[in-house]
Chain A
């Protein structure tokens, strides 16, 4: 399995992760300020700003699209508990 680079801007740390890793699997371990509520894609607490590499993330599910919309999220926002890093480099910070 290939790797991708996931950078957490608020703690200045890049982690080399297996392709398919969800942001939620890493962010708390590195001390990023991204926080979680339900962890199941429903509450919108973990809205995260994608600074770079939006195209390298998995497509949002219908649920994620609805929750982002309900929470008035911006076009560069995703749910950290849902999206997976598929390839290349992705840089994020708390939303």
Chain B
């Protein structure tokens, strides 16, 4: 028997109508206590909330984000309790993912005059959402510094891309120091008491959400925090989970902590190269050792060597996240790289690998295609792979080990920013 909804959720605590969150600001979102996984990649042990907000100014009413499509009626019922459709002047879409825009088509059908504000990157997704109705509406793209007036209330836009989609932005209600962040600083935690000082302990959910949604985009989270930290903040109203009205800055500070490198001074100005290998008969291990030795001749590069069979994926991922270069050694078995290598490579989707240096090597008996497969995966992870992978048939000879050391030297030179510049003709590539 599964433990669905009511066993952990308390319907008596669920708001049946709109909830005031601040003067002129009302929560008109939806609770989804029965959800058990989100976007396939997250577990949601007590569900989630889809937070939408209504802001009432002296000369206009704004809706900030909406809810998942199946909660449209719930959302519209709450909205109708606090505003008429003909009053809605403004619809701000901070993020176009379906869990925040599912009710947009129906809302616009009832409030077609509402002026829509999205980020420039959001425009293409809005087009896809509204299909042939797109041209029926008034849409304006907005970026940092743009404002939308509601009379005595002003919405100020902060463009904060890639937290966690290209389109994401935040909206700041200037007169009340209230920041609508959509997915940023949110979490999947369903509790009808809504506010962080009233709900259960959601700290685990807050960090879990960061790890699975924001972690691959740390560099963009940093840029977003750079914009948010100078603001006066009395309340953070995210798109999922509790409204952060008590000590809201603690959550910003915690995000800053989560994106900060650990023991950053340990490596100083040195670049780091991690060499991982797995070896059936010791040949790929020999190659790994020689590549390590060659790279370690450089004083600018700190090189580490790990047998993949001796470690767990999760701590290796932590290590890789802060590394500058990765080399993977794998034999070719049954025409493929071995499973432990694929487990590691598939797990790298949880972190940012863009621009890291990648390299592959391995011993083989018959075909040796594993090396090329690993290189292709690394390119798919947005890594640069400047040196063609090194393949050696059976155990390496003395000369072949010197080739490995030289391979390591070249990797170190790339990391140190002193690679040997090469020039080739196209024919050299086409032959490969």
Identify the A interface with B (CB < 8 A): 5, 10-18, 21, 26, 28-33, 35, 42, 44, 69-72, 94
Contacts and interface: CB of A to CB of B under 8 A. Distances in A.
What are the 9 closest A-B residue pairs judged by CB atoms, nearest first?
A31-B385, A11-B386, A33-B384, A12-B419, A14-B423, A10-B384, A29-B429, A70-B120, A35-B382
Contact of B420 (A12, A32, A71, A94): A12
29 contacts: A10-B386, A12-B386, A12-B419, A12-B421, A13-B386, A14-B421, A14-B423, A17-B426, A18-B426, A21-B426, A28-B379, A30-B386, A30-B429, A31-B375, A31-B379, A31-B386, A31-B387, A33-B354, A33-B384, A35-B379, A35-B380, A70-B123, A70-B124, A70-B141, A71-B166, A72-B120, A72-B121, A72-B161, A94-B382
A11 B422 CA distance: 9
Interface of B: 120-121, 123-124, 141, 143, 159, 161, 166, 354-355, 375, 379-380, 382-388, 414, 419-426, 429, 432
B426 A16 contact: yes
Nearest to A14: B423
Contacts of A26: 426, 429
A14 B424 contact: yes
A15 B432 CA distance: 14
A89 to B, nearest CB: 11
A20 B166 CA distance: 31
A45 B396 CA distance: 40
A16 B384 CA distance: 20
B143 A72 contact: yes
Contact of A15 (B382, B419, B424): B424
Given A29-B432, A31-B384, 12 more contacts: A11-B414, A12-B419, A12-B421, A13-B421, A13-B424, A14-B423, A15-B426, A16-B426, A26-B426, A31-B386, A71-B121, A72-B159
A26 to B, nearest CB: 7
B425 A15 contact: yes
B376 to A, nearest CB: 9
Contacts of A10: 355, 384, 386
A47 to B, nearest CB: 11
A13 B123 contact: no
A33 B382 contact: yes
Contacts of A13: 386, 421-424
A17 B430 CA distance: 11
B165 to A, nearest CB: 12
Contacts of A33: 354-355, 379, 382-384
A10 to B, nearest CB: 5
Contacts of B429: 15, 26, 29-30
Contacts of A35: 379-380, 382
A32 B419 CA distance: 14
Given A28-B379, A31-B388, A35-B382, A12 B422 contact: yes
A73 to B, nearest CB: 10
A67 B432 CA distance: 33
B228 to A, nearest CB: 18
Nearest to B428: A15
Nearest to B355: A33
Contacts of B354: 33, 94
A61 to B, nearest CB: 16
Nearest to B422: A13
A32 B355 CA distance: 9
A70 B426 contact: no
A71 B355 CA distance: 19
Nearest to A11: B386
Contacts of B383: 33
